Chains A and B, each alone.
Chain A
Amino acid sequence: MELVCPAGTPSALRAAADAGADAIYCGFANETNARNFPGLNFSADELSEGVAHAHRKGAKVLVAINTFARAGDVGLWKHAVDDAAACGADAIIAADIAVLDHAAANHPGTRLHLSVQAAANTPEAIRFYAEAFGVKRVVLPRVLTVPEIAALNREIDVETEVFVFGGLCVMTEGRCALSSYATGKSPNLTGVCSPPDHVDYREDENGQLLARLGGYTIDRFESGQAAGYPTLCKGQFSARGQTGYLFEDPVSLNAFELLDDLAKAGVTALKIEGRQRGKAYIAGVVGAFRRALDSLESGGDAGPAIAALNAFSEGGRQTSGSYKKTWR
């Protein structure tokens, strides 16, 4: 299985390539990609250099142009596709029909991957994108169990890529407007979820730290406790007279124990999340996954590599998410 790793910066890209990534995904520094955060992402020149470095290391570069193009201004997204192709990208990851259509029509030599933002989780939807645009791979939304992924793979001819490590989106990607409802900025349109310029922290009368997004208090931390980032679906809320993590606990996805099952389910590529992470994190996680995958493939002991991954999880807590039917 191919190990697909994140890069938010040129140095993270080099770290991922050096640590043994088979492919690295990244995006341009504008709203054409779904991690449009300040200080992140690539210019066209940086992408060209990154592609050259990755190729020297035997890694591919996949460029995410996976937000939905703005009405009346589709040109910015088309230019991003043209730039990615000109920079030698091995594939473009897109969700919007407008972007896929432009890429398929103008860059038939560049592979197209369907972004998770397209939320295609049935054979019918995936075959539509394959037939209409020649999509070669689909990044599956995190709504399927491993047996469901296996059944899906038996019905489609395109490759599947699944998330195995990092942040856990609990809302179906590409179909969530919680962030824009609270802040006016949206993953689909602006490329951001729970944007930092709408975050603030304040202390309440009991000395607890309140984390707020768009003026809504969505998490609370004891004095001295490490304060997490207020991501909407990982916040604490009240419903039915109870207060807690209604949508999802602040946990990370770690599907490491399912790697063998995912391979048997016919999955082609494993995706690590974290384009906003620094190069030390990238190097650590990618390196651990590389060693673990190599150990698994050679029938060796993957235990030490698994242990090394635990150190990188949010709050030290992990879940295999929707891949297991027991997820609640």
Chain B
Amino acid sequence: MSQTLTEKILSRAAGKAVSPADVTEINVDIAAFHDLTGYHVIEVMEKAGMLKVFDKGKIVIAFDHLAPPPDVRSAEIQDQIRHFVKNLSIPNFHDINVGILHQILLEKYANPGYVIVAADSHTTTSGAVGAFAQGLGASDVAAAVITGKTWVVVPEPFKITLEGKPNKWINGKDVALKILGDFKADYFNGMSIEVFVKEPSAFPMDFRATVSNMGIEMNADALMFIPDSETVNYIKTMRGYEPQLVQPDSGAKYKDEYTIDLSKLEPLVAAPHSVDNVKAVGEVEGLEVDQVYIGSCTNGRLSDFEMAAKIMKGKRVKTRCIAIPASYDLFRKAMEAGYIDTLVQAGCVVTYGTCGPCLGGHFGVAGPGEVMVSTSSRNFKGRMGSPDSKVYLAGPAVAAATAVEGKITDPRRFS
């Protein structure tokens, strides 16, 4: 029988053919956590009296939410996890100098067809290379770390096709916001989204990662790009080997389908306090902004910095602007390309791969009454600091244009 990508991956992981709505135990290929959820995962393992891991090589740990530690408690949390790593000899541990977990999974570990679970909702990011990747709570991840297994309700697959080529300032964020605006935040509950790109090179890995990252904002169980030539190029460039492609069978059945013509997209924003409160940038243009944030696991990649640098070249920002590449590897590449220099010259605060402001953690928390434009994933009330602040989500071009003008600005004004 013809299978979708979802069915194909989960059937392999379950060791039997599965269909939507089946409840099944599955083997995981990678179980991961970061500092902020990691101490909780370890605490559950300790309380259960099972401080062991199913396969050392399949555990990935990265410090990102509290990196470097902004206070004593954060330092204590990281110290506890370093001990865990040492005691159990976990090889795939990334301390404060590597980057954000989801970006590291993408750069170093995720493969087409993998099942990945991690104690963070944005685990969906690894769907960019065609992995069935889900965020889970600390207890579920603890169980997966101990046993190598978890359970799923097989989601109903939904097909999205991307056709055409995006215009100059359009980015993965605009595609994610387009889907959220059209379907709203609850439509994909219990579904997985499989994205087919008609012209693979027109929608590169950076853009795919942003869309997969926001799969959780659509409440999808997973958002996977069908592996294609772009996937092969990316993994080969990053890791030196060609991955095996896992693809849906022709004739696989989907619950429904939807097509986006990339050439018709315009820059979008999500207004406070909901990710699906989507508007064309023109509808909110002119609104004065206190701070702009370019970065996070959603939009902290090289092409994001490239777009921001093109807009900021030779100019000075009129808002506070914080820019954080999602990993050290990306930081280095952005530096070599001159983007970091351009942003620093423009007056941005640029720092290394950390989650910082995205979750109202550190490095730029919003004060009461402040208006933020952020390339991160969520604009929930109080997400980036004070519950009385307002966050507008946007892609890097809108964010950079806004920083330069001091108010929300359509990047298409910059040729």
Q: Do A and B come from one complex?
A: no
Chain B residues with a Cβ under 8 A of chain A: none
Chain A residues with a Cβ under 8 A of chain B: none
